[in-house]
Every structure is written in C-alpha cells, then in structure tokens.
Amino acid sequence: MTNYFRRQLALYVEYHRDPWNCAAHVLGIITLFLGAILPLTLWPITRFGDHVTVATVMVLPVLAYWLVLDPAVGLAILGAAVLLLSTAVVMVAHMSAPAVWVTSAVLLVFGAGAQIVGHQLFEHRQPSMADHPTHFLLGPPFVMAKLFVGLGFRRDLAAIIGPVVEPARANNPGNC
C-alpha cells in the first residue's frame, strides 16, 4: 500500500462511518460503474484479431491507478471490473441500442441517488469528493478494502478504516 493511498483512505473514512452509508456506496458504486460502461460497450474495437470494446479501453487507466495504489486491492477490483464488463457485453448483446442508453441512464441516476441518500440520510455530511475531488476515484478501493477487512484479511487496512460492524452496533462512531 502506498503512503498516498494510506493518507487518502484515512481522509475518505472520515466521510464514511455509518454502515448504511457504506452499503449505499457498495450499491451505488457498482451501478455507477455498470451505467458508465454500458453504452461504451456498444462500440467494438478490433486490432490484430483481438476484440475489445471502448469500455474496456476507457477502464484500463483507472484500473492501473488502483493497482498502483495497492496491488492486492487493485487486483480484486480488476476481477470485479472483468465481471461487470462481461455483464455489460451480455446486456448489450440482448438489448437494442435505445434500451442500452435508457438502462445506462437509470443505473447512473440510481447509483448517484444511492450515494446522495447515503450521505444525507445516514452520514449527515456532504460527500468527501466535495472537499477532496480526488476521492471520486477512491470509492471502489474503499469498498474493496472494507471487504478485505470483513473477510479477516489485511490488518494494515483495518488499522486505517476500522473493523466492519453489524448495523445493530452502528452507534459506535468510527466504524463502517
């Protein structure tokens, strides 16, 4: 884990203490990612016999960024991204182009809404990216780090983000 990631994660955690807000972020991040890549999956790219989509090409720089921040977290996000990119390919294969665009819009609105509700209703605080724009790219590593900690891995991450708690224990500040 880089020192930069450690510092950014510590700042990010301060905006994401409530377990319900964290749950809203898991749902929101997944739907935002899928909503963003879905229309980009409509455009195939073929080079030297390989077939990819614009979505795959567009996702590569941010995946590389996450791998640099923390290789284990980045690899886990890469696995999730492959699953979501594959899901988008299947969806595009079975939908008309207008249906893809409508579905994408619904997913984007739902994903953004989940995160807004999480911050307003549960956290009672503005999103971290309002104060730290670079946190726009920190949601997926945070969610994956929470998963690692919840599964009992990565004590170094647990020291920064705290343990995963059950919602019944949510009154304990400092846990998500």
Contact (CB, 8 A) for 170 and 19: yes
What number of residues does the chain have?
Answer: 176
pLDDT tens figures, 84-133:
999 999 999 999 999 999 999 999 999 989 888 888 888 888 777 777 77
pLDDT tens figures, 131-151:
777 777 888 998 888 888 888
Domain ranges for the chain: 3-162
In angstroms, the CA 175 to CA 169 distance is 9
